[in-house]
């Protein structure tokens, strides 16, 4: 028997209709397989999505529980925190009080230094004014009982500084009237 005869013996009674029928069955089985696979894939995806959602809910629940535990712990420690806050507030108030006292003491020292400086300045000015008073009102040293405009301006500026430094007393009752009686003599002085 030849190969063709064997083929015919094996497939001899196969018709085109039976081949078409076989092709349709194959197509039907492939389509059924695809539908089943699609269904299983969808079920698998849904299951995976549910698992992920479940895990996310569990993580969210764990996070919420952790935060709740932390909040409850903080609430339990509130009296301790309050006491600590009051202690710190008291310490700050004490330090502020000490700083205020220190600043008040420094302000008082500064005020005393300013008063001392003002008094010393007043004394120096009074000494200079008295020296000039003695010179210009002394008939032996200043027989003409006069002074120049420039000398008068310098004296009265110093006198104003003396008054601004708090100077008073006999400088006004003795020195000022005597100096006001001096006459201005600019002869022989080259004024600008």
Which pLDDT does position 64 carry in this prediction?
Answer: 92
Residue 140 located in a structural domain: yes
Burial class (CB in 10 A: 0-12, 13-18, 19+), 11: exposed
Residue 100 located in a structural domain: no
Residue 191 located in a structural domain: no
pLDDT surpassing 80 at residue 190: no
Domain span holding position 47: 16-73
Q: Structure pTM?
A: 0.48
Q: How many domains does the chain have?
A: 2
- Give the residue carrying structure tokens 């009296």: 79
Q: 14 vs 108, which has greater pLDDT?
A: 108
62-105, pLDDT tens digit by residue? 999 999 988 888 888 888 888 889 999 999 999 999 999 999 99
Which pLDDT does position 18 carry in this prediction?
Answer: 77
Residue 111 located in a structural domain: no
143-185, pLDDT tens digit by residue? 999 999 999 999 999 999 999 988 887 888 899 999 999 999 9
Which pLDDT does position 175 carry in this prediction?
Answer: 92
Residue 189 located in a structural domain: no
Residue 108 located in a structural domain: no
Give the span between the Cα atoms of 182 and 185, in whole angstroms: 9
Residue 178 located in a structural domain: yes
Contacts of 185 (CB under 8 A, 6+ apart): 144, 146, 147, 148
Is the distance from CB of 162 to CB of 126 less than 8 angstroms?
yes
- Find residue 183's DSSP bridge partners: 146
pLDDT surpassing 60 at residue 39: yes
Which pLDDT does position 121 carry in this prediction?
Answer: 92
- What is the pLDDT averaged over residues 110-116? 92
Give the span between the Cα atoms of 59 and 180, in whole angstroms: 101
8-18, pLDDT tens digit by residue? 677 667 677 77
Residue 104 located in a structural domain: no
């Amino acid at each position: 028997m030849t190969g063709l005869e064997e083929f015919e013996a094996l497939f001899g009674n196969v018709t085109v209709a039976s081949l078409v029928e076989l092709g349709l069955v194959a197509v039907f089985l492939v389509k059924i397989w695809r539908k089943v696979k699609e269904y299983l894939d969808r079920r698998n995806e849904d299951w995976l999505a549910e698992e992920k959602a479940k895990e996310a809910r569990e993580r969210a629940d764990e996070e919420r529980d952790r935060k709740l535990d932390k909040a409850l712990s903080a609430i339990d420690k509130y009296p301790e925190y309050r006491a600590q806050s009051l202690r710190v507030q008291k310490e700050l108030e004490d330090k502020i009080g000490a700083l205020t006292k220190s600043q008040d003491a420094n302000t008082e020292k500064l005020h005393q230094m300013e008063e001392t400086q003002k008094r010393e300045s007043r004394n120096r000015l009074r000494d200079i004014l008295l020296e000039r008073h003695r010179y210009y009102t002394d008939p032996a040293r200043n027989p003409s009982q006069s002074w120049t405009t420039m000398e008068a301006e310098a004296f009265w500026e110093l006198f104003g500084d003396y008054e601004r430094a708090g100077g008073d007393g006999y400088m006004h009752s003795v020195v000022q009237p005597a100096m006001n009686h001096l006459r201005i003599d600019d002869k022989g002085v080259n004024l600008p």
